[in-house]
Each structure stands twice: as structure tokens, then as C-alpha cells.
Amino acid sequence: MNKNQLENEYNSYKQKGKTLDMSRGKPSPSQLDNLWRMLTEITKSEDCYSENGTDCRNYGCPDGIPEAKRLFADILEMKSDNIIVCGNSSLNLMYDTISMGYLFGVNGCTPWGRQEKIKFLCPVPGYDRHFAITKLFGFEHINIPMTEEGPDMDRVRQYAENDETVKGIWCVPKYSNPTGITFSDRVVREFASLKPAAKDFAVMWDNAYAVHGFTETPDKLLPVMAEAEKKGNEDLFYIFTSTSKITYSGGGISCIALSEKNKQVYLKLMGIRTIGYDKLNMLRHARFLSKHLEEVMEKHGRAVREKFELCYKYFEVLEREVEGFGFSRPNGGYFINVNVPAGKAKQVVSLAREAGLILTPAGATFPGGVDPEDRNIRIAPTYPTAGELEEALKLFSICVKLAVSR
Amino acid sequence: MNKNQLENEYNSYKQKGKTLDMSRGKPSPSQLDNLWRMLTEITKSEDCYSENGTDCRNYGCPDGIPEAKRLFADILEMKSDNIIVCGNSSLNLMYDTISMGYLFGVNGCTPWGRQEKIKFLCPVPGYDRHFAITKLFGFEHINIPMTEEGPDMDRVRQYAENDETVKGIWCVPKYSNPTGITFSDRVVREFASLKPAAKDFAVMWDNAYAVHGFTETPDKLLPVMAEAEKKGNEDLFYIFTSTSKITYSGGGISCIALSEKNKQVYLKLMGIRTIGYDKLNMLRHARFLSKHLEEVMEKHGRAVREKFELCYKYFEVLEREVEGFGFSRPNGGYFINVNVPAGKAKQVVSLAREAGLILTPAGATFPGGVDPEDRNIRIAPTYPTAGELEEALKLFSICVKLAVSR
């Protein structure tokens, strides 16, 4: 296709005036429909009691019911004792953790908010909503390149172990958002052995895609807390997960996992904020997922994989035809990481938007929304139907070629 | 009964070794059983859509679904537009509001955390969990006496209108915790016309018992936002309620109601914390309560009233026999406010505890846990069965008389 043909094709999409939003990792309606049996787990008053006798309809059990703790302990390969089960949003728990560090201090230190300067390490490309939290608190972000094994640990150590104003790092250790990379055993062990200069350093370990493999060779993530305990380093880690991408994004449950010492501090401050989280939803989830987690994730995985493979079909063509185009082929997760030729990402995203395809904003995967090379785009193919996705991929391909040709 | 007989009676309770916890306003299991039909409102995938087409299982609609906004608008006698529907804990919303003021400022002003001194007005006796939040942030508390009509407004004005370091006030405007008083129309109008010296003053209006009348003459609370709008004063008010005492304390929904300007600020900051609250539980509640709210509250009211009347029977005897003993007879809510003779509240609560009856700690209804006269005790009779309650009241009566005789 020459440039004129591309322009014509592009304009015909524009004239159709269809809109498709692929900016966020959203489960598809058919994936959600798979879960209907969960809605029948609690349908009468007698269904409302936890295995420990707690009436989940009433106050009590602020750290969560035991079956929900066990569910997350299994997902995270940790001990139930470390886990506090909370509401539907793990992002909210991350915010609360950063906010508590800012207001009341981490590890008994002066609150971050009363220290001169706070820096936070951000593996890039990474998750925009993480960066938005630490940006809100005015932290300085330091980009850490992602390698095939996880964050570049030499750089992590260089900053964390030599600069006391570096107070933490954001991580998505499995099927990382957006690269799809899972941290290697070496990287996990190096995190577990980290000796930060700051006594109030926090590793924000957002294990959102712990059970989200979809190939024959799913990734394995070494459980970091057990490794850290061997080194006496367990207080460094704040671990999060949720069922937002297992059951319902709009009505799931989440947890934070902490060392015993950090848990006591967290519970004390949490006890000022709330009398407790929704225990009926914990019970509904624990009952359903204790029976059906594997089956549910297998079905989810098949559906997600089909969509990823459809993307690969188009991206392979682009890879052959456009120099500097590349993409990830993760074993799980929700995103495909695309690199377009340098200096072209913003243009691709804006061309797509003008023709009705909403993508994650270019740069969003970098702190402050600035991709220094302007080449990274996060593709979120889970929500649309196969038909919509194919249409979107055709348009996306045209936008890439058009941007390059201009 | 002479002192010896009292001591003997008391010791026999102690020997029984029974424990009953009446420290908190908890719904009783039979009240919770009344709600079983709510559990069947959503039992299949097709049940999961809001009236505006939102799939409540997925991300989206961060400010809450329209039917849930309408539910709270009806309860609060406000417009849906002012309302953001959230998770199960309105206390958490109050914490978030205070925290946002501390971190990011109210009404565009310098964050409270960067100002020299912050004072907060606390009508007393009041709700210990309110005071715990502002205490955590290090605010200085100023006690404001409660009158039969609400807080002493001369005092409120004296502080709020003359001292810029006074930044807000805690209120439970209807069936106040613990006094049971509902603010009179005059008091509400005086709040609506308040002209605080501080530009960043926040009235924390916790309308937790909006539909909790249980006598033939339930109290009426003038809706404060409409009054404030008449005076151009709507930005002063942060209004909260929840279904914790309507449906499930352990799995309800809550809301914050704000002026349009404050709502925009709130949503922006909320959008950093979370992608949204549990919409399936909103839908479940909205569907059930749009049909059954009145019936449910009537049943709840009957049950609560019976328990209150049992308390009155014992308290009337104490009133006759013990000089300086007094108690409230509210038209609704969850608590009876008891005054024992000055200097005796701590002793009564500790005698009760030693004999197995856990009451709200004496002083808890005052900031810092200090009741200057040591006479106020909050009685929470909703949770126990009638039999347990009668037993508790007998023991309580003995403890009061014993404390006085010692």
C-alpha cells in the first residue's frame, strides 16, 4: 500500500465513525458470564457464616475471614497469617500504603511527608496507575529499565543501596503490566537480599496476575516473602493482589500481605479508617474459588490467548513491513507491549483516536506520561469481541504505517 | 439492698463467668435475618446490569450506579447529583475526607498538614471513632456541649467564626451517637449560615441514622444541603451515610454527598485511589431497598424499641433510687445515653467488665477518652437477645449501685 492508499483506507475508517475503547485491561462480558455460579453461593441467611463462626453480615473479623485469607495465601503462595483481606480495590490498598508512609512513616521512621525529598524507582515501561499515586504525593520518579528477567537489578541496587532518599520501588512481578515479563528467580532473590540505604524502603509488589498464565508453559514466580524471610528482609515487602482479573473487576476482593511486624502496624492504622471490609463478598469469593479457581482461569486463559494470537497475526505483518516495530509474546497477563518506530507512538495513538479507536495514551507506561523515545504503546485486547478486535487491529496497522510514512 | 447484699449479688454474677459484649452498636442476628431476600436479588449474569446499561461486574461508573445514588438521595433527602456511592464503610470516607484535607487542602487552601495548628470541634458526648480520626492526624479537639437541640451553636460560632485554626466539626445530626438528639431546624439553619473564619472549614455531617426512627413520633431532620445552598454555603458540608445499620454492617454500601465543586475535587483524588467501588453490591442494595426500605426499617425499629424499653424499665428504677442517675429516651438510633453520678462512670464500667459485661469504655464518648465529669456511659442494647439484655441490665444496675455505695 502506498501513502495515498493508506490515507484513503484511514479516512474510510474515520468516516465509519465507530468507537472502540481498548485503553484499559478490562475483562470481556463472556469472561464475566463464566462466573455466574458465584452469584448463587450466598442466597439465604444460613449461608452467611464463615467457617470460624463469624456472621459475615455483621461487624467483626477486621482482617478478613479465614477462608478468604487461605484463598489469597494459595494464590500468592504465602502463609494465611501474613494476609489481610480487604475490599474490591488493591489499588486502594497501594494508595493507603503510600499514604501511610507519607503521613505516619514506614518502619518507625520519620513520615515521608516530613522528609526533604522522596524518590521512588519505577521500572519502565510500567503501570500508569502506580506512577499516578507516587506522583500525587510529589515523589521524584527514577526510571529503571526492564530487562527480560525483570527490572535491571544493578540499577535498582545502585539507587536503593546508595541513596537514602530512595524510598521504594513499584513492581508487577508476574506478567508485568505492560511487558508481560515475569521476574526471574535471580531477580526475586536479589530483591529479597536488597540492602537499601533508607530504613524506610518499601517494595510495592503488585502481584495482580499471579494465576493468569495462558500458554502450555506458564511462568513461575518465586514467592518473594519466603526468600526475604531467609535474609531477615521480610519487612521490606508490601504484597498486593485482587480478584479483579479473576472474578469481577467491579465487585471483587483484594488483599495486602505483610510481615508480622508490618501487619500489626497496618492493622492499627486500618482500624482507625474502617471497622472492616465486606465479608459477605469475601465469603462468596472464597466458596466459589476454592472449588473453581483453576477451571475459571483455564477458561479465561483460553479466551485471552485467542485474542492475543489474533493480535500477533497483525503484529507479525507489521514486524516484517515496518522497521523498528516490535511486540511482546507473554505467557500470561492482560497486555501486549508494542514498540513502534521511535518518535511515532504519540502520532499512532492520536491517529487511532481520530478514527475511533481509543488506545492507552502513548507515554502512559512511563512516569509523568513521558516516554523518552516516544515508541511504547500498551495494547489491551481482552475486552472487545474477536470481530471488534480484528477491526481494531486493521485500523491500528494502518495508523502505524501512516505515522511512519508521514 | 444494702452494701453487703449488693456485693454478694455482684460476686455471684462474677462467679457465673458469662461474657456479654455491649460495647458497640451492632445489629442483632434476627434483624439481619429479615434481609435474606436481598441475597437473591442478583443470582445470574443477566441480573448484573444497572438501569443505565452499566455491567456492574466490570470497571466503569466510578461515582456509582444511578439506582444506588437515588437510594441514598431518598434517604438523605438530597439530589442524586450530589452523591458518590462507595464501599461498605462510611467511616472510611470520613477518614479519606480528613486525610485529603490534611494532604491536599480543603477548598483550594494550604493542606492542613502544612498549617501550624489545626483545631476541630467535637460535640460531646459524641462518637469515639470520629474523634479517633482527627486525633490520629494530631488535631486539637475542642469540646462543644450538646443541648436538647444539637450542639451549642453559640459556642460553635464563637470558635468557628473567630479562629482560623478551627477547621471543622464532627456531627451526627439525627439520633446522635450517643445522645439520640436530632438537630432542630434552628440548629440546622444556623449550620447552613455559618461563616467560618477559615476558608477551609469542613462540616463532617455523619447522617448514619437517617431512617432509624422507632416511635410514633420519629424525628425530622431538615436537609442541610438545601438550606446551605440558599446561603451559598454548600461547599462547607461533607455528608455521609451508609446501610451499615439498614442492611449488613459487614457488607453494606455507603456514600458521600457533596456540593458540585467539592464533588469534582473529590472524584479527581478518588480516581487516583481506586478505579471504583463494588457496583454489584450497590445494585443488590438498590434493588432490594427500593422495594423494601420502609418495611425493613419498621421491623428493625420494632425490635430495637423493645430492647430500649427493657432498658428504660431498669433505668427508671435507677433514676428513682440513685441520685444523679439519668438517661435519654430517643425516638430512634442505636444508643441510650446514660449519666451515672459524677466520678463514677469508670468504676461502673470496670465493675461490669470484671463480672463479664463489656460496655463502651467510660470516656469513649469524649475526645481523647476523657469525660471531665466521669459520668457518661453509652449503652448499646441492639445486639443481645431480650434474655441476655435483661441479665445485662440487672448486672449493670448492681454495678451502678455498688459504685455509688463504695
Are residue B220 and residue B206 in the same domain, yes or no? yes
Using a CB–CB cutoff of 8 Å, tell me whether B299 touches chain A. Answer: no
CB distance B274–A33 less than 8 Å? no
Amino acid at the residue B310? L
Are residue B7 and residue B57 in the same domain, yes or no? no
Q: Report whether pLDDT(B1) > 80.
A: no
**pLDDT tier for residue B192 given thresholds of 50, 70 and 90:** very high
The domain boundary residue, chosen from A291, A319, A343: A291
C-alpha cell at B255: 456514600
Q: Report whether pLDDT(B128) > 80.
A: yes
CB pairs under 8 A between A and B: 169
Using a CB–CB cutoff of 8 Å, tell me whether A58 touches chain B. Answer: yes
Q: How many domains does chain B have?
A: 2
Give the Cα separation of A278 and A254 in Å (integer): 11
Using a CB–CB cutoff of 8 Å, tell me whether B40 touches chain A. Answer: yes
Instruction: Report the SS3 class of residue B379.
Output: strand
Are residue B255 and residue B302 in the same domain, yes or no? no
Are residue B235 and residue B208 in the same domain, yes or no? yes
CB distance A58–B113 less than 8 Å? no
CB distance B58–A279 less than 8 Å? no
**Residue B284: closest C-alpha in chain A:** A39
pLDDT of residue A1: 74
pLDDT of residue B406: 85
Are residue B334 and residue B372 in the same domain, yes or no? yes
Q: Which residues contact B164 (CB under 8 A, 6 or more apart)?
A: B197, B198
Segment B232-244, tens digit of pLDDT: 999 999 999 999 9
**pLDDT tier for residue B256 given thresholds of 50, 70 and 90:** very high
CB distance A87–B88 less than 8 Å? yes
**Residue A95: closest C-alpha in chain B:** B273
Are residue B301 and residue B399 in the same domain, yes or no? yes
Give B103's contacts in chain A (Cβ within 8 Å). Answer: 99, 102-103, 113, 137
**pLDDT tier for residue B298 given thresholds of 50, 70 and 90:** very high
Segment B53-108, tens digit of pLDDT: 999 999 999 999 999 999 999 999 999 999 999 999 999 999 999 999 999 999 99
The Cβ of residue B175 has, within 10 Å, a number of other Cβ atoms equal to: 28
CB distance A277–B87 less than 8 Å? yes
Using a CB–CB cutoff of 8 Å, tell me whether A132 touches chain B. Answer: yes
A293 contacts A212 by C-beta, under 8 angstroms:
no
Using a CB–CB cutoff of 8 Å, tell me whether B52 touches chain A. Answer: no
Give the Cα separation of A353 and A282 in Å (integer): 39
Using a CB–CB cutoff of 8 Å, tell me whether B14 touches chain A. Answer: no
**Residue B247: closest C-alpha in chain A:** A57
**What's the domain range around A350?**
3-33+296-405
From the list A60, A95, A272, the residue facing B133 with the nearest CB is: A272
pLDDT of residue A393: 97
Are residue B285 and residue B303 in the same domain, yes or no? no
From the list B24, B251, B272, the residue facing A279 with the nearest CB is: B251
Give the Cα separation of A173 and A181 in Å (integer): 8
Give A279's contacts in chain B (Cβ within 8 Å). Answer: 250-251
Q: Report whether pLDDT(B155) > 90.
A: yes
B348 contacts B404 by C-beta, under 8 angstroms:
no
Of residues B22 and A40, the one with the higher pLDDT is A40
pLDDT of residue B70: 98
The CATH number of residue B360's host domain is: 3.90.1150.10
Give A65's contacts in chain B (Cβ within 8 Å). Answer: none
Q: Considering the entire predicted model, what is its pTM?
A: 0.97
Residues of chain A with pLDDT under 70: none
Using a CB–CB cutoff of 8 Å, tell me whether A70 touches chain B. Answer: no
Are residue B184 and residue B48 in the same domain, yes or no? yes
The domain boundary residue, chosen from A261, A276, A291: A291
Closest Cα of chain A to B87: distance in Å?
Answer: 8
Segment A331-383, tens digit of pLDDT: 999 999 999 999 999 999 999 999 999 999 999 999 999 999 999 999 999 99
| ipTM for the whole complex | 0.96
Give the Cα separation of A220 and A332 in Å (integer): 11
CB distance B250–A58 less than 8 Å? yes
**pLDDT tier for residue B21 given thresholds of 50, 70 and 90:** confident
**Residue A282: closest C-alpha in chain B:** B251
C-alpha cell at B280: 454489584
First to last CA, chain B: 14
Are residue A370 and residue A243 in the same domain, yes or no? no
Give the Cα separation of B119 and B139 in Å (integer): 5
Give the Cα separation of B259 and B186 in Å (integer): 22
pLDDT of residue A234: 98
Are residue A8 and residue A24 in the same domain, yes or no? yes
Segment B332-383, tens digit of pLDDT: 999 999 999 999 999 999 999 999 999 999 999 999 999 999 999 999 999 9
Give B27's contacts in chain A (Cβ within 8 Å). Answer: 57-58
CB distance B250–A26 less than 8 Å? no
pLDDT of residue A374: 97
Using a CB–CB cutoff of 8 Å, tell me whether B26 touches chain A. Answer: yes
The CATH number of residue B77's host domain is: 3.40.640.10
Are residue B349 and residue B230 in the same domain, yes or no? no
Are residue B25 and residue B118 in the same domain, yes or no? no
Using a CB–CB cutoff of 8 Å, tell me whether A57 touches chain B. Answer: yes
Using a CB–CB cutoff of 8 Å, tell me whether B267 touches chain A. Answer: no
Give A45's contacts in chain B (Cβ within 8 Å). Answer: 32-33, 35-36, 39
Instruction: Report the percent of chain B where pLDDT is more than 70.
Output: 100
Q: By CB neighbour count within 10 A (0-12 exposed, 13-18 middle, 19+ buried), where does B171 fall? A: buried
The domain boundary residue, chosen from A291, A308, A329: A291
pLDDT of residue A17: 87
